[in-house]
Structure 1
């Protein structure tokens, strides 16, 4: 039961000891370009570009200058006909292009008008991200209504936003959380930080709720290439509103469902019940790409020698199954079999531990708890070395001095660069695949 263009593999040790209950498996799903039968082109798209224009964006001026260049790079990467809008954000959200609250289809004429509007942007005011996202939600909703009223369909398949900020949100945390709940499932948002005052936790919160990505930039000069790449990736999506569907047997419990590559995202709490034994977990839109998921199920133990179907894992678009794989459980009294580790499961468990150690360490450091920060970041250094994560180890050395990598003995740097600290935090969820996989 697989659509051409989609493949999946299951990595697990299906053997459990007598009385064993926990079944872990990593499922790798790969989609080739044009994989969805009946589609010969990318899904229809709409895009909103949100640029922080608070007062701090003027210092140094390279931030706003490159933010403007990046916005225009994104606009020029849009396919003709794609509805788009540009929003500036400070203590409130304002339309840059078009000037009315709405979207325009990309064309040579609208790109030129957008360019003129963007060049006039200036920086002032504070930072209220909830207002920026709320305006984006209204724009996507209005575009859908306009398309329906014209009789052209149901709106864009993929609603995509890019949010750029150089500072931390100035609102109560609950306000951003509430607006993210309003926006969830309505559009995807990639969040990016530039400068020295943005917060990794806020960018990750936005990206997590809206199924996008989060990252920080070492230099404003990187912005145009980043915005162009994000837009091109959005334009390449072929299937929207895809879910990971999990069937489990009666009496079992889903311990967790996580995306573990290309970054860690816990989907467990986002289950939509299809039936008592079937749940859907949102994965957003897909293009030509590959992702890994770690599913963990607690099952009722059976007799030695028995085998059961512990889970049926599918990727679905609506009710159409794109690919499906089975996760098995077999009970044995052979300890050589039941104690064998799946390299993929062990690898991603370690990656999750590494991400948690970094985030907890950075949070302790920000709170002034040097003892906990040292212990957690030392553990992160040790885990990064053990898993071959040279990229993460290099980042960690920007916030700690490593005394002994193998034991995780470190000293906190007294005055690490603010950008380095946030980049270490925001990239903590980025993962690598098993070596040689």
Structure 2
């Protein structure tokens, strides 16, 4: 594990830490060699105050007011109470607005397309406007986001945020295509989205939030929504660093395939103007993890020695921030399969999370098509992966849909009362990842390998019975349940 954490700055100063975890050994005979690494970025000290003049946050609440929100009546009431709870949390001076969404987008508060500054008077007026909302019409989420973008563009607050609530699927995409709107909104604001009721689409919410660097969530009981909104707003108000850039400088013969956020949720990152600079949004005191993928060509490169593939650096534009030094990502070309077949334990952890999400999505699709047997099989695979990762919370959520007979072997039985909405709740829950192995327990590092990282240590190895991989010291494959031979 390579660590470059800057700590111990002056009181009130923000500090940033950077760690890189990788297994540096790659086969020189591989057809398309790729180096994967996990970057851990930590920000501390954002609660010190005194770094910002004026409001940091500009907030838009987008409330679904389509006709489906009228039944049951508790649904619209919960949405109104949640919006009011969020409004009450806004500090004085915060620009805010409420958007009423159906097949179009309209202003609920204020009554013109602009934003108001939070005060006792404007909060009270906004509450009255929210309680007066009437549902009717269809659903065009693209229109809601487009109006939100136009409102936030006129604000000078460094962090723009949209809190979107819906109980349905996007019905009028031809009116305002969601794909085009997401491209227009990307980088302009962060969007968190919530599903309520039983008609929303979890994959659609993930498509929005991954593009806009937010998270997708849902509630099973309408009455729980206001408290969830309060908690989300409390977390949001601790974020005072508008953006943090991660720069990846590739060496000759190396290219950057991608950089994506994998913890606490998955988010898409696009390099600015085709460079290796990736901008992340809205930070408080927190740690996020990113998966970096590099392509490398071993032709003409020395073997059996460490070579620098890329340099990773972090930067906070315009901020008085204590930064860590740039860190290298290394490669060690080898023809020894005992080394090249390993994978870093942190990389494998997040790839297992991705496979779990894919299994849940496949199960959802199978259930929708009436293939209960296939849905059961995919949920069994999800249970295997959750068990292998030690993701007890994920197993508990899976247990709402299946009876888990043997998680390690993937034997589950779909519950007869499983509903389509249960799968949607599972989709959003599965998008929230766990932190993964602690620093220093990966299969290798840019510093030359963590203790015990060789065969049988913290890395992973391929399973001989399936395409999956397993921790080097595991007795069973987490993907297929194959029992490994005992090592002498």
TM-score (norm 1): 0.88
Q: Is the 8 A contact 2:249 2:312 kept in 1?
A: yes
Q: Is the 8 A contact 2:141 2:170 kept in 1?
A: yes
Partner residue in 1 for 2:161: 160
Q: Is the 8 A contact 1:218 1:419 kept in 2?
A: no
Distance 1:36 1:253 in 2: 39
Q: Is the 8 A contact 1:54 1:126 kept in 2?
A: yes
- Indicate which of 380, 383, 395 corresponds to 1:381: 383
Which shifted more, 49-58 or 13-22?
A: 13-22
Distance 2:201 2:305 in 1: 51
- Indicate which of 9, 15, 26 corresponds to 2:19: 9
Partner residue in 2 for 1:131: 143
Partner residue in 2 for 1:104: 116
Structural RMSD (CA): 2.6
Larger helix fraction of residues: 1
Q: CA deviation at 1:265?
A: 2.8
Q: Is the 8 A contact 1:6 1:35 kept in 2?
A: no
Which shifted more, 29-38 or 387-396?
A: 29-38
Q: 1:433 to 1:206 in 2, by over 3 A?
A: same
Structure 1 residue ranges without an equivalent (≥5):
145-154
Q: Is the 8 A contact 2:18 2:40 kept in 1?
A: yes
The within-5 A match list for 1:271-420 is: 271-273=271-273, 278-301=275-298, 302-318=301-317, 322-323=323-324, 324-332=326-334, 337-420=339-422
Q: Is the 8 A contact 2:167 2:198 kept in 1?
A: yes
Distance 2:318 2:378 in 1: 44
Q: Is the 8 A contact 2:60 2:148 kept in 1?
A: yes
Q: 1:130 to 1:18 in 2, by over 3 A?
A: closer
Partner residue in 1 for 2:189: 187
The within-5 A match list for 1:43-122 is: 44-122=56-134
Q: CA deviation at 1:338?
A: 4.3
Distance 2:381 2:256 in 1: 29
Q: CA deviation at 1:435?
A: 4.7
Which shifted more, 126-135 or 248-257?
A: 248-257
Partner residue in 2 for 1:217: 219
Q: Is the 8 A contact 2:403 2:414 kept in 1?
A: yes
Q: Write out per-residue CA displacement over residues 220-240 of structure 1, whole angstroms, 9 at most, x where no aligned residue.
A: 111112222222222222222
Partner residue in 1 for 2:477: none
- Give the secondary-structure state (helix, strand or coil) at the position aligned to 1:265: coil
Q: Is the 8 A contact 2:68 2:167 kept in 1?
A: yes
Q: 1:41 to 1:12 in 2, by over 3 A?
A: farther
Q: CA deviation at 1:341?
A: 3.9
Q: 1:38 to 1:82 in 2, by over 3 A?
A: closer
Distance 1:42 1:336 in 2: 57
Structure 2 residue ranges without an equivalent (≥5):
10-14, 440-488
Q: Is the 8 A contact 2:261 2:288 kept in 1?
A: yes
TM-score (norm 2): 0.79
Q: 1:170 to 1:332 in 2, by over 3 A?
A: closer
Q: CA deviation at 1:82?
A: 0.7
Partner residue in 2 for 1:206: 208
Q: Write out per-residue CA displacement over residues 362-384 of structure 1, whole angstroms, 9 at most, x where no aligned residue.
A: 12322334454333222111111
Distance 2:331 2:84 in 1: 53
Q: Write out per-residue CA displacement over residues 137-194 of structure 1, whole angstroms, 9 at most, x where no aligned residue.
A: 12112x33xxxxxxxxxx1101101011111221237812222222222111110011
Partner residue in 1 for 2:260: 258
Q: Is the 8 A contact 1:374 1:412 kept in 2?
A: yes
Which shifted more, 185-194 or 39-48?
A: 39-48
Q: 1:223 to 1:271 in 2, by over 3 A?
A: same
Q: 1:410 to 1:50 in 2, by over 3 A?
A: same
